[in-house]
């Protein structure tokens, strides 16, 4: 999916400029702009988050919601610098990496019940094998691969989102693709499709 | 393009639900609620800082055995917005002391002193106590008594995550340098913009001698 305004998801969502009034709350000047951004770019963020989380739709939605809150709080500054889109992307990637850091220990627990998982919109279209292979990549490497090859971002845009050098993006992406190819060549040894399965 | 890259590209084409009014309303509601929570917290933090400042002034008087009372630091009102940003940050070329190192200072400002607990930058001739933070830039480690998550508007300090807030009379930037939670406080009277506070913080290095206070 392309990252810019021409991406197919964005084109299909028909942004409307009618501000939504939250009951009992006075509208702030930035609200209408924020709403338009949500309508226009939320699908893109959700798609990115689903790839980052290797198909965990619940977690992806949580990350997107949290990122949009952070974006709203920094709206004036991000807009002034002309980098609303980039800021949203950075907060999403940071939220994903931070989530992985914070919640690894808490997530690693035995349970007798299968956790509830959100069903994908079109189950048959999901490349489960690829998602399982993605789940085996460390978070930053996975993010580099997703931003470069799922979102079609440039090396520079990916470096900006990850807060690292372009050289680092290139090396992380190359290593990530190599690991994916290796995993996809060995279907019998694939990790489970659980997006939380990697220990990185 | 390789098969793997093709398959990755197709992940971006997976259908996602359209954005309904309810979804937009939910995002806006959560965002506004968080904004309100942060404002409430900032108000409380402002009160706390005012209280600490008052206690700090008393401590200065108590520690100082001079027979005459210590004059309070002169009140310098915060300049209006249009007056801000007239101060330039310039390279600091003076003596450095272990604990906290700096690369920049506002033009004409000096390093007042460095202790394991804080570094102060102030105007020349400021002979106030090192623990009096009024009309100064102060760098310190977050108190060990603080256990909650940093609060304020998320910002980036170089490659690091930071949080910027108005703490009532001062702008306070908290950021995590990988090992420490560092606090940079710039008194409003200095006239520094938020971006300048961040720029100043980007030049701060915390050394092993730095210690976090308690309380």
Query: A174 to chain B, minimum CA–CA distance in Å?
Result: 11
Is the CB of B15 less than 8 angstroms away from the CB of A38? Answer: no
Say whether residue A130 is in contact with chain B using an 8 A CB cutoff.
yes
Is position B211 within any domain? no
Q: Does B34 sit within 8 Å of A150, measured CB to CB?
A: no
The DSSP-derived string for B7-51 is: HHHHHTTS------HHHHHHHHHHHHHHHHHHHHHHHHHHHHHHH
The confidence band for A125, taking pLDDT boundaries of 50, 70 and 90, is: low
Which residues of B fall within a CB distance of 8 Å from A8? 13
Give the pLDDT of residue B151. Answer: 80
How many structural domains does chain A have? 1
- Closest residue of chain A to B5, computed from CA coordinates: A149
Nearest CA in chain B to A78: B155
- Asked, for residue A96, whether it belongs to a domain, the answer is yes
Please give the ipTM for the structure prediction.
Answer: 0.72
Do B34 and A94 lie within an 8 Å CB cutoff?
no
d(CA A58, CA A194): 12
Burial class (CB in 10 A: 0-12, 13-18, 19+), B77: exposed
Q: How far is B25 from chain A (nearest CA, A)?
A: 7
Whether residue A197 is contained in a domain is answered as no
- Closest Cα of chain A to B91: distance in Å? 25
pLDDT for the residue numbered B213: 76
Sheet (strand B170-176) strand order: B110-114, B118-122, B137-141, B181-187, B170-176, B160-166, B153-157
Judge whether B167 lies within some domain: yes
User: Which residues of chain B does A43 touch, with a Cβ-Cβ cutoff of 8 Å?
Assistant: 16-19
Tell me if A198 is assigned to some domain. no
Q: Please indicate, yes or no, if residue A94 is contained in any of the structural domains.
A: yes
Counting every residue, how long is chain A?
200
Q: Say if A183 falls within a structural domain.
A: yes
CA distance B166 to chain A (A): 14
CATH code, A102? 1.20.140.160
Burial call B119-129: b when 16+ CB within 10 Å, e when fewer: bbbbeeebebb
| Percent above pLDDT 70 for chain A | 66
Residue A16 banded pLDDT, cuts 50, 70, 90: very low
Among the ranges given (A21-25, A140-144, B149-153, B157-161), the one the predictor scored with the smallest mean pLDDT = A21-25
Q: Who has greater pLDDT, A19 or A134? A: A134
The answer to whether the CB atoms of A22 and B25 lie below 8 A apart is: yes
Residues of B in contact with A102 (CB under 8 A): none
pLDDT of residue B35: 76
Residues B156/B172, Cβ–Cβ less than 8 Å = no
Between the two ends of chain A, the Cα-to-Cα distance in Å is 26
**Helical segments of chain A, H only:** 8-12, 31-52, 57-73, 75-80, 84-107, 128-135, 139-145, 155-162, 166-185
Per-residue pLDDT tens digits for A63-78: 999 999 989 988 888 8
Query: What is the C-alpha separation between B28 and B125, in angstroms, rounded?
Result: 50
3-class DSSP assignment, residue A101: helix
HSE (side-chain half, CA atoms, 13 Å) at B200? 30
A148 confidence band (pLDDT: 50, 70, 90): very high
Q: Which domain holds residue A89?
A: 8-189
Q: What is the mean pLDDT of residues A90-114?
A: 61
Asked if the model's pLDDT at residue A41 lies above 80, the reply is yes
Instruction: Tell me which chain A residues have a C-beta less than 8 angstroms from the C-beta of B42.
Output: none
B38/A73 touch (CB, cutoff 8 Å), yes or no: yes
Interface check A102 vs B, CB under 8 A:
no
Chain B residue with minimum CA distance to A42:
B19
Q: Is residue B14 assigned to a domain?
A: no
Is residue B20 a part of any domain in this protein? Answer: no
What does pLDDT average to over chain A? Answer: 75
User: E strand or H helix at A41, and its extent?
Assistant: helix A31-52
Position B70 pLDDT exceeds 50:
no
**Separation CA A73–CA B208 (nearest Å):** 34
Residue B137 included in any domain = yes
What is the C-alpha to C-alpha distance for residues A162 and A117, in angstroms, rounded to an integer? 28
* A84-107 and A155-162 helices, crossing angle to 10°: 50
Q: Which helix H or strand E contains B113, and what residues bound it?
A: strand B110-114
**Count of domains forming chain B:** 1
Evaluate whether residue B23 is within a structural domain.
no
- Boundaries of domain holding B91: 30-206
Residue A156 sits at the chain B interface (C-beta within 8 Å):
no
Q: Is residue B56 part of a domain?
A: yes
Under 8 Å between Cβ of A184 and B46: no
Q: Which residue of B has its CA nearest to A72?
A: B31
Q: In whole angstroms, what is the distance from residue B103 CA to residue B58 CA?
A: 32
Question: B-chain residues within 8 Å CB-CB of A145?
Answer: 8
Within-domain flag for A45: yes
Contacts of A127 in chain B (CB under 8 A): 7, 10-11
Check residue A8 and give its pLDDT: 31
Distance from the Cα of B155 to chain A's closest Cα (Å) equals: 8
For residue B215, the model assigns a pLDDT of 52
For B77-132, how does the pLDDT look when each residue is reduced to its tens digit (9 = 90+)? 444 444 455 788 999 888 888 889 999 999 999 999 999 889 999 999 888 888 88
Chain B: closest CA distance from residue A83 (Å): 13
How confident is the model at residue A35, as a pLDDT?
Answer: 93
pLDDT given at position A122: 46
**Domain assignment of residue B184, yes or no:** yes
Whether residue A2 lies inside any domain: the answer is: no
> Is residue A103 in some structural domain?
yes
β-bridge mates for residue B183, sequence order: B140, B174
């Amino acid at each position: 999916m392309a990252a810019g305004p021409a991406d197919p998801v964005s084109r299909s969502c028909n942004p409307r400029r009618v501000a939504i009034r939250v009951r009992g709350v006075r509208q702030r000047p930035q609200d209408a702009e924020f709403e338009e951004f949500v309508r226009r770019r939320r699908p893109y963020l959700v798609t990115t988050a689903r790839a980052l989380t290797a198909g965990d739709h619940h977690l992806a939605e949580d990350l997107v919601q949290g990122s949009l809150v952070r974006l709203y709080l920094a709206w004036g500054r991000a807009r002034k610098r002309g980098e609303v889109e980039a800021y949203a992307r950075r907060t999403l990637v940071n939220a994903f990496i931070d989530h992985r850091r914070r919640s690894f220990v808490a997530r690693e627990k035995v349970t007798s019940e299968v956790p509830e998982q959100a069903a994908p919109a079109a189950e048959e279209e999901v490349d489960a094998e690829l998602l399982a292979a993605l789940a085996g990549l460390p978070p930053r490497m996975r993010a580099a691969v997703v931003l470069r090859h799922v979102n079609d971002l440039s090396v520079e845009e990916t470096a900006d989102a990850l807060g690292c050098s372009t050289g680092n993006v290139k090396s992380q992406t190359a290593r990530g693709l190599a690991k994916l190819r290796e995993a996809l060549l060995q279907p019998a040894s694939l990790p489970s499709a659980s997006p939380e399965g990697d220990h990185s | 393009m390789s098969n793997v890259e093709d398959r990755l590209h197709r992940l971006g084409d997976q259908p996602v639900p359209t954005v309904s009014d309810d979804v937009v309303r939910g995002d806006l509601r959560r965002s506004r609620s968080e904004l309100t929570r942060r404002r409430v917290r900032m108000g409380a933090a402002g009160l706390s800082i005012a209280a600490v400042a008052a206690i700090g002034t008393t401590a200065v008087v108590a520690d100082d055995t001079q027979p005459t009372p210590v004059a309070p630091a002169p009140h310098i009102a915060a300049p209006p917005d249009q007056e801000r940003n007239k101060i330039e940050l310039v390279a600091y070329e003076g003596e450095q002391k272990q604990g906290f190192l700096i690369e920049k200072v506002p033009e004409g400002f000096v390093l007042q002193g460095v202790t394991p607990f804080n570094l102060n930058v102030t105007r020349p001739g400021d002979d106030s106590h090192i623990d009096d933070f009024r009309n100064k830039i102060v760098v310190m480690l977050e108190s060990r008594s603080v256990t909650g998550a940093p609060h304020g508007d998320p910002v980036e300090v170089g490659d690091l995550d930071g949080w910027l807030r108005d703490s009532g009379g001062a702008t306070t930037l908290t950021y995590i340098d990988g090992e420490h939670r560092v606090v940079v406080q710039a008194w409003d009277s200095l006239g520094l913009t938020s971006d300048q506070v961040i720029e100043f913080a980007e030049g701060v290095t915390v050394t092993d001698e730095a210690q976090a206070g308690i309380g």
